[in-house]
Amino acid sequence: MPKKKVFIIGAGPAGLSAAYELLSRTDEFNIALMDKSDCIGGLSKTVYYSGKPRATLGGHIFRPGNERFLAFSKKFLTFQGRPAIDDLLLDKNVKTVRGGADPQREDSVMLFRDGLSRFFRKGSLWDYPPTLHLRTVETLKITEAAFMGLSFAKARIMRKTPHTLEDFYINRYGKALYGEFYKDYLEKLYGVSASEILTDYDSRKFISLPEPGRIKAKEKELLTVVPEFREDLQFEEIYYPKFGAGQLWERVAEEVEKLGGRILKGCYAEKFICENSRIKTLIYTEGGVSGSMDADYIISSAPLGEFVPAVEDYKKPESVQRTAEKLQYRNFVGVNVLMKSLEAQNITGFPTLGNIIPDSLIYVFEPEINLCRIQVYNNLSPYMLNNPQRSVSLGLEYFCGGDDGFWNLNDGEIAEFAAAELASTGLIDRRKVLEMNVERAEKALPLYTGSYADISGLKTYLSGIENLCCVGRGGRHSQLDMEGAAQSGFEAADRIINSDLQG
Ligand SMILES: Cc1cc2nc3c(=O)[nH]c(=O)nc-3n(C[C@H](O)[C@H](O)[C@H](O)COP(=O)(O)OP(=O)(O)OC[C@H]3O[C@@H](n4cnc5c(N)ncnc54)[C@H](O)[C@@H]3O)c2cc1C
């Protein structure tokens, strides 16, 4: 029997997971995976400068949780069985697995790391998430702090049904704490007030919020004395590929090709022509030349705002077209800054190479500063730097609209702006910048605003196309993280293998 043809749009986590699952579990399918970019990994790619992996587009931290994703990751990267370079130099006792890989000698390695997230506000680094302990009280004045404590307690007792993202945060932290710390941060991230964002917000996605259990533990700390940062630091166990998140996806792509899948880079899926409630033909452009292919199945991780208008000859109500055209997104701008050293002092007592701050992620809660988050790659993987003892690689995350002045600046202007902002925090000295690089991604953050309230009509329309499965962040219009995107790819493969989709 001839193999069925599956076309997968997008070589990000969702598309690659679907491709690998289909190819590794059966030999019934002929798979072609296309990506309009010439990279592997989508938003989770590793970024190379001078041929060396130095950053990813955002944090892309791996947290234990989803067993299927963990088992999947282990097929491509082996957990560390020996200490990494920083552990060796600092003589640290680290978690390793018996029979694991030696990161000093092997490359396909998943490292165990001590993840630390803090937030920057009023010139200092604070425990993330913000809660009320002595340091907060000292800075806020006792009356403000007492007010926050009361508002926090009130929110815990009198929870209201959350309709907006603002309700969701107020339920967790109380109105006063929300107003002091989160309100402005969320607005710079999403571009609108959290009160305008519908609640389809999943607390595990995108910006990690503490679980309720952790909040309870923190409640006990209200007004307790915290003399030193060190005891109070909340490290979490995270894992991270030796060469950044994208290394996992590059390994998956290699295996997909070994199993016979084709990966077409620089190939844009332009139109989906239907016949009898099925996508029959895919029109694509590659190197400026158009082509077409007939498909049995389509798995698409393209943003719905682009995908739906590209579907032809399958009766599209005007309301569905309108909803798709009015879906809203935020673009992403990442600035990688290579520094000689940082001005921020490591006063935590936690040992690091070059004694830099031990943070992996820093949330910037300073309202006048546009920057949202900072990654410190040295602490995620020291192998992402040529010399982790004498240089620091920072990833700066900005979000903006496509018509914002910021997005329309050229890369040099963006880099200058970012360096100036970062220097204004006191975390760096501008004169110690060695190199800066700018990355951009359109439609990186699907928003739950605009026509999102009508998305169910659009999803019902798409579910009528018998051989289509929409996956991932773009295909689900959801702020999925890497695991969630991969999970949606697994589910698409399950549906095709179980003949739950009509091929
Ligand atoms: C700044 C930032 C920080 C993040 N931090 C984390 C984190 O710490 N942890 C975490 O788990 N997740 C994080 N995420 C989320 C993570 O990046 C995404 O969940 C994941 O990459 C989504 O995978 P995907 O395959 O659904 O989509 P994407 O990664 O967006 O991949 C989709 C691919 O489809 C291609 N494509 C789209 N349309 C077409 C078309 N018509 N034709 C051909 N190709 C097309 C695109 O080029 C892209 O490569 C972060 C995201 C951002 C933006």
Residues 208 and 265 in one domain: no
Structural domain includes residue 104: no
Please tell me the predicted confidence (pLDDT) of residue 452.
Answer: 92
Choice among 87-101, 156-170, 373-387 with the minimum mean pLDDT = 156-170
Please tell me the predicted confidence (pLDDT) of residue 146.
Answer: 65
Residues 183 and 258 in one domain: no
pTM: 0.91
Specify the 3-state DSSP secondary structure of 245. helix
- If one residue of 60, 204, 238 were mutated to test the ligand 1 pocket, choosing by the most ligand atoms within 8 A of its CB, it would be 60
Closest atom, ligand 1, to C-alpha of 270 = 41
pLDDT mean over 486-502:
91
The C-alpha torsion from 231 through 232 and 237 to 242, rounded to 10°, is -80
Q: How far is the CA of 457 from the centre of ligand 1 (A)?
A: 24
Residues 391 and 441 in one domain: yes
Structural domain includes residue 99: no
Closest atom, ligand 1, to C-alpha of 39 = 49
313: domain CATH number is: 3.50.50.60
Structural domain includes residue 271: yes
Please tell me the predicted confidence (pLDDT) of residue 1.
Answer: 80
Please tell me the predicted confidence (pLDDT) of residue 384.
Answer: 95
Residue type, 223: L
More confident residue, 402 or 137: 402
Q: How far is the CA of 471 from the centre of ligand 1 (A)?
A: 11
* Domain stop point among 408, 429, 446: 446
pLDDT in tens, 90-143: 998 888 999 999 999 999 999 999 999 988 988 888 777 665 555 555 555 556
Q: Is 299 in the pocket of ligand 1 (CB under 6 A)?
A: no
**DSSP code for 310:** G
Choice among 16-25, 78-87, 108-117, 173-182 with the minimum mean pLDDT = 173-182
The two three-digit tokens of residue 389, written as one number = 């003892």
Residues 213 and 358 in one domain: no
pLDDT in tens, 246-299: 999 999 999 999 999 999 999 999 999 999 999 999 999 999 999 999 999 999
Other C-beta atoms lying within 10 Å of the C-beta of residue 245: 24
Q: What DSSP letter does each residue of 9-29 carry, written as one string? A: E--SHHHHHHHHHHHHH-S-E
pLDDT mean over 383-411:
95
Choice among 23-32, 215-224, 399-408, 411-420 with the minimum mean pLDDT = 215-224
Q: Is the pLDDT of residue 152 over 90?
A: no
Q: Is the pLDDT of residue 24 over 70?
A: yes
- Going by alpha carbons, the residue nearest to atom 34 of ligand 1 is 10
For 92-95, which contacts have Cβ atoms below 8 Å and span 24 or more sequence positions?
92/351, 95/237
Residues 135 and 221 in one domain: yes
The two three-digit tokens of residue 195, written as one number = 């009160």
- Going by alpha carbons, the residue nearest to atom 7 of ligand 1 is 60
Q: How far is the CA of 329 from the centre of ligand 1 (A)?
A: 13
Alpha-helix residue ranges (DSSP H) falling in 238-317: 245-258, 304-307
pLDDT mean over 34-46:
97
Please tell me the predicted confidence (pLDDT) of residue 168.
Answer: 84
Residues 288 and 322 in one domain: yes
Please tell me the predicted confidence (pLDDT) of residue 220.
Answer: 31
Residues 177 and 30 in one domain: no
Give percent of the chain above pLDDT 70: 88
Structural domain includes residue 235: no
Q: What is the chain's mean pLDDT, rounded?
A: 88
Q: Is 199 in the pocket of ligand 1 (CB under 6 A)?
A: no
Number of domains in the chain: 3
Q: Which residues of 423-440 are buried (b: 16+ CB within 10 A; e: fewer)?
A: bebebbeeebbeebbbbe
Choice among 57-71, 248-262, 321-335, 404-418 with the minimum mean pLDDT = 57-71
Structural domain includes residue 276: yes
419: domain CATH number is: 3.90.660.20
Choice among 8-17, 121-130, 185-194, 462-471 with the minimum mean pLDDT = 121-130
pLDDT mean over 41-66:
90
* Spatial distance between the Cα atoms of 476 and 303, rounded to a whole number of angstroms: 8
Q: Domain range holding 19?
A: 4-50+65-77+245-326+451-497
Q: Is 245 in the pocket of ligand 1 (CB under 6 A)?
A: no
Residues 203 and 135 in one domain: yes
- If one residue of 16, 35, 36, 43 were mutated to test the ligand 1 pocket, choosing by the most ligand atoms within 8 A of its CB, it would be 43
Structural domain includes residue 311: yes
pLDDT mean over 59-81:
90
Please tell me the predicted confidence (pLDDT) of residue 349.
Answer: 87
Q: How far is the CA of 13 from the centre of ligand 1 (A)?
A: 7
More confident residue, 169 or 492: 492
Residues 147 and 295 in one domain: no
Question: Using 50, 70 and 90 to split pLDDT, how confident is the model at 210?
Answer: very low
Residue type, 402: G
Q: How far is the CA of 143 from the centre of ligand 1 (A)?
A: 44
Structural domain includes residue 97: no
Question: Using 50, 70 and 90 to split pLDDT, how confident is the model at 221?
Answer: very low
Structural domain includes residue 164: yes
Name which of 387, 369, 390 is nearest 432 in CA terms: 390
The answer to whether residues 114 and 235 touch, using CB atoms and an 8 Å cutoff, is yes
Closest atom, ligand 1, to C-alpha of 284 = 42
Residues 305 and 399 in one domain: no
Residues 347 and 486 in one domain: no
* Spatial distance between the Cα atoms of 471 and 445, rounded to a whole number of angstroms: 15
Please tell me the predicted confidence (pLDDT) of residue 231.
Answer: 45
Choice among 63-72, 124-133, 432-441 with the minimum mean pLDDT = 124-133
* Domain stop point among 200, 228, 256: 228
Q: Is 57 in the pocket of ligand 1 (CB under 6 A)?
A: yes
Residues 274 and 184 in one domain: no
Task: Collect all residues with Cβ–Cβ distance below 8 Å to 327 and sequence separation of at least 6.
Answer: 303, 304, 305, 446, 447, 450, 451, 452, 455, 477
- If one residue of 239, 283, 481, 491 were mutated to test the ligand 1 pocket, choosing by the most ligand atoms within 8 A of its CB, it would be 481
pLDDT in tens, 309-337: 999 989 999 999 999 999 999 999 999 99
